[in-house]
Chain A
Amino acid sequence: MIKLIIDGVAVEVEKGTSILDAARSVNIKIPTLCHDDRLKPSGACRICGVEIEGSSELQASCTTPAREGMVVRTQSDRIRASRKQLLELIWEDHPNECLSCQKAGECELQDLCYDYGVEAEGFAPLKVRTPLEDSNPFYTFDKDKCILCGKCVRVCEELQGESAIHFVQRGHETAISHPFEKGMAYSTCVSCGNCVEVCPTAALMPKTEEKFRVWDIDKKVRTTCSYCGVGCQLDLVVKDNKVVRVDAARDGENEGMLCVKGKFGYSFLSHEDRLTTPLIREGDGFREASWDEALDLVADRMTGIYKAHGSEAFAAFASARCTNEDNYVLQKMVRGIFKTNNIDHCARL
């Protein structure tokens, strides 16, 4: 274990812990724009700079490991001035569009600019706005709002394993793009949306049917994704009793990762064709029924068939979209009640 002092507080951490994590372990918050616990530290934004006694330059706390006896300061006039300056530099290149931006209120850049007193005035709006890249059916990319934190690139490479996007050009012209720059839809992107999830600004935004901002949200409902049996946790973002966006839950087993279906495949929830009650066939049509009525009917018919024709009249086919528990219960029913081994599962195909 390593002992160091951060803002006068004695901290003990394991060898290899960064100063940033050491500070967080004692509730000292250091702002960052490019850091994500799940990703290798990059040291790109430089916002997290801290003073270390004996070192003349500010050190990025996300990439500097804690060392025995270190004395670290995370707040000082010099640190504040440098953070404010860096934010001003980023802001200067950013469209001054917070009034109409859907990210407003949950934008990390906006929040930090507020914290450090960066003024919007004095900066001319960008003269030529780069057109929105909207070739992908699920998300848009606004190059001008990108602050090049690189989180999207790293999530794509390190966690999703896709490497569909990367930096192109250099210096001030550096941008996020993809091979041959023909449009995101023509890249190897699998539209998982994990880049959208980590974007600190509105550079990567999900395509939503509704306009809404963070303060319009009524509630977030934690649920389990129903598309497959993995059990990804997600938060359904609800406005006016309608799901308007899906956020990946960082504290679920999926650790904030989703696939294209979990992240973007939610419009069926409020689709007019969606079945919301059981239907019972009557003649050529269906009539709505209650769950009790429907389940009673099914139980009656199954018991009848079992009595009339025996076990071999039954077969069940389970789905990978159901959870392990659902599948277990189904085979239990088939084997234990219907007394047959006629049970199979789509994942076996």
Chain B
Amino acid sequence: MDQKHSVLEMDYIRKQERIALKNCGLIDPERIEEYIRYDGYQALAKAILQLGPEGVIEEVEASGLRGRGGAGFPTGRKWRSGYLAKGNEKFIICNADEGDPGAFMDRSILEGDPHSVIEAMTIAAFAIGATKGFIYVRAEYPIAVKRLQIAIDQAHEMGFLGSDIFGSGFGFDIELRLGAGAFVCGEAKALIASIEGKRGMPTPKPPRTNDKGLWSKPTILNNVETFANIPPIIRNGAGWYAAIGSEKSKGTKVFALGGKINRTGLVEIPIGTPLREVIFDIGGGIPGGKKFKAVQTGGPSGGCIPTEHLDVKIDYESLQDIGSMMGSGGMIVMDEDNCMVDIARFFLEFSVEESCGKCTPCREGTKKMLGILEKITSGEGVMSDLDDLERLGQIIKDTSLCGLGKTAPNPVLSTLKYFRDEYEAHVKDKTCPAGVCKALLQYTITDKCIGCGICKTVCPVSCITGNKKEKHVIDPSACIRCGACQEACPVDAIIKR
């Protein structure tokens, strides 16, 4: 058998290390029996019947697991502070408000393996002494919502949720809460406000949610992917998990690979894998023989990483050192056809729209930065704009209330750092080297023109003139740069510069 038939034989899957995604694509997510068949709920049994709360926390601490939502806070330490926090009632929250553009690993876990999250939340609840949990999941994930509810009901039926779990006297319940589409509700405090029925706006820290979270009770909040790592850690032991990954960051991270790359999709890799390996060995490189230009990680909070840093080992600290971040795991690859100014504009626009509007720098500052970027991409930029962008970006990072604002300038600052020449080309030469920014493009007809007149016919603004069988000319002042002529030309005589 020469040809490979199974997904397991493909490099894309072979080179991954699947822990959080272990069951995704393998089991029927709507049947608890299949989860149990693949060792489901054994970790919960072990936690309750063998380890005890302290034992669970020690295990999670020793595993070295860090928050997969982006900030990378050590999960064990978080749980311990929840365990130590005093309160007659405590809560566990699963943050399933995945909102980064291009990131969908949490959705995949919720849709493909909902029980792993429920088992992990129950373990966490047992560890810190919580009796009630909430999964804050965005309403735009209807399949995830449906499967989570099915899974919760099934877990109840089998006694993995409810009162007296595994005959231990410990009881725990989970309810779903649907987010209404605000990105900022992925921020812990805004998320908690939203569950409480208030407007999703971050409030100052301290107090931290570990001490005063939901309804001012001690609350432990973890992201979907973080939770999905818990059952394997408890089942296989902290040592097994800690052996995977890099020195400071253990385990694996799921990335959503997208953009100009041959094999798009979800990949789960040991932390510390070089970026180059993910993009070229697993992702299969750039399509169409084009040149790699940059990779954007961390979504609207992250930055663009240029070729010179391709060998960086993917972990929380290394990515931060080069002006980006791990974030929730979006990884968007860009080639020579991507304009970095335009990319920065795209991500900043997202942050502008998703700012909650509470604090001045995020509400007004990001909007002002976007205005400057729009000015540059439309050819109106001046050199001092670049300094303004840098200064404003720094002040927004310095003064914003929550993580959204503090990281919103990153896409701009990182591209300014690594691709300043592209910004300067937009400002000084009024050209867009990648040929993306419409206002700076010029379509011209070369000597290859055979005078067929097709371009003249398709031009929606009639800005092309020329006699039959003679070279035609485009009037740049009337041209709207729609590109219709270039597409229609039978001899590729029209070029875009």
Contacts and interface: CB of A to CB of B under 8 A. Distances in A.
Nearest to A171: B355
Interface string A7-38: 00000000000000000000000000000000
B320 interface: no
B401 interface: yes
A174 B201 CA distance: 12
Interface stretch (B6-14, B65-73, B392-400): B392-400
A148 B199 CA distance: 15
A46 B360 contact: yes
Interface stretch (A58-66, A96-104, A206-214, A256-264): A58-66
Contact of A174 (B357, B391, B401): B357
A86 B356 contact: no
Interface in B350-397: 352-361, 363-365, 367-368, 391-392, 395, 397
Contacts of B184: 170
A93 interface: yes
Contact of B355 (A41, A47, A78, A170): A170
A45 B354 CA distance: 18
Contacts of A167: 199, 201, 357-358
B204 A93 contact: no
Interface in B101-138: none
Contacts of B353: 170-171
B78 interface: no
A43 interface: yes
A220 to B, nearest CB: 32
Contact of A148 (B182, B352, B363): B363
B406 interface: yes
Nearest to B355: A171
B409 to A, nearest CB: 13
Given A41-B204, A65-B206, A89-B360, A171 B354 contact: yes
B356 A174 contact: yes
A42 interface: yes
Interface in B185-200: 199
A173 B205 CA distance: 25
Contacts, number: 98
A60 B204 contact: yes
B359 A57 contact: no
Interface in B231-273: none
B199 A166 contact: yes
Contacts of B355: 170-172
Contact of B367 (A41, A147, A170, A172): A172
A150 B398 CA distance: 21
B182 A170 contact: yes
A169 B357 contact: yes
B360 A49 contact: no
In the complex, which range does the number of interface residues on chain B fall in?
Answer: 20 to 34
B327 to A, nearest CB: 19
A169 B360 CA distance: 15
Nearest to B353: A171
A45 B363 contact: no
Contacts of B406: 57
A44 B361 CA distance: 9
Interface in B295-328: none
A89 B399 contact: no
A85 B393 CA distance: 11
B159 to A, nearest CB: 42
B163 to A, nearest CB: 37
Nearest to B183: A170
B344 to A, nearest CB: 18
Contacts of B367: 171-172
Contacts of B205: 63
Contact of B358 (A58, A78, A150, A166): A150
Contact of B398 (A58, A92, A93): A58
Contacts of A147: 360
A90 interface: yes
A86 B361 contact: yes
Residue of B205, B368, B398, B401 contacting most chain A CB atoms (<10 Å): B398
A43 B359 contact: yes
B360 A63 contact: no
Contacts of A58: 398-399
A269 interface: no
A89 B361 contact: yes
A45 B360 contact: yes
A147 B359 CA distance: 10
B368 A49 contact: no
A86 B395 contact: yes
Interface in A289-316: none
A49 B398 contact: yes
Contact of A46 (B199, B391, B399): B399
A327 interface: no
Interface string B330-360: 0000000000000000000000111111111
Contacts of A81: 395
A174 B363 contact: yes
B204 A42 contact: yes
Contacts of A47: 360
B352 A85 contact: no
A90 B203 CA distance: 21
A34 to B, nearest CB: 9
A323 interface: no
A63 B363 CA distance: 19
A82 interface: yes
B400 A46 contact: yes
Interface of A: 41-47, 49, 57-58, 60, 63, 65, 78, 81-82, 85-86, 89-90, 92-93, 147-148, 150, 166-167, 169-174
28 contacts: A43-B203, A44-B401, A45-B359, A46-B359, A46-B361, A46-B399, A47-B360, A49-B399, A57-B398, A58-B399, A60-B204, A63-B204, A82-B398, A85-B391, A85-B395, A86-B360, A86-B399, A89-B361, A89-B365, A92-B368, A169-B357, A170-B184, A170-B354, A170-B356, A171-B355, A172-B352, A174-B356, A174-B357
Given A166-B199, A170-B184, A170-B353, 17 more contacts: A57-B406, A60-B204, A78-B398, A82-B395, A85-B395, A86-B360, A86-B399, A90-B364, A92-B364, A170-B182, A170-B355, A171-B363, A172-B355, A172-B357, A172-B364, A174-B356, A174-B358
